[in-house]
Amino acid sequence: FDDAQVYGNARVYGNAWVFDDAWVSGNAWVFDDAWVSGNARVYGNAQVFGDARVYDDAWVSGNAWVSGDARVFGDARVYDDAQVYGNAWVFGNARVYGNAWVFGNAQVSAKASFTLGWFIGGDDSGKITDITEKTGSDHWKNQYVLGDYEITPVEDEPVDKK
């Protein structure tokens, strides 16, 4: 549809759609009822499936998976062996990569990269760490991480030179 492109060994099947100016390439798969649209890119060995949506200028690449009712949009990047699933959203300038998992009702956005750990929405069961407590930011209120994690800035924060 429109100027969408599917090339290389990429596969789009089931009720999946690729439209607008989106590209699916390499060995990527888009299947089930998934949509890739806008200027989104899905490539490498990435998979988008279930009712997942990848749109705007988002990229999913490497061996990453986006599935369930997950959304990846804005200028977000999901790559390497990262997984986004359930009702999770990754958006804005967020970067999720390495072995990171984002799932449940978690929402990840900001100028930060997530390389380790599993980010979930929900309550603190004693097995998870409240991100707000660790980062000192209310932006992550009600978001938790299970296991080891690493948060690194994508951009240096401006220095106040008063």
The rounded mean pLDDT for the chain is 78
Q: What is the pLDDT of residues 135-145, one digit of tens each?
A: 444 444 444 44
How far is Cα 43 from Cα 18, in angstroms, rounded to an integer? 13
Rounded Cα gap, residues 102 and 86, in angstroms: 8
d(CA 65, CA 162): 45
What would the pLDDT profile of 34-91 be if each residue is shown by its tens digit? 999 999 999 999 999 999 999 999 999 999 999 999 999 999 999 999 999 999 998 8
* pLDDT (mean) for 126-135: 43
- Contacts of residue 40, defined as CB under 8 A and 6 or more positions apart, other chains included, come to 22, 23, 54, 55, 56, 57, 58, 59, 60, 72, 73
pLDDT at 158 over 60: no
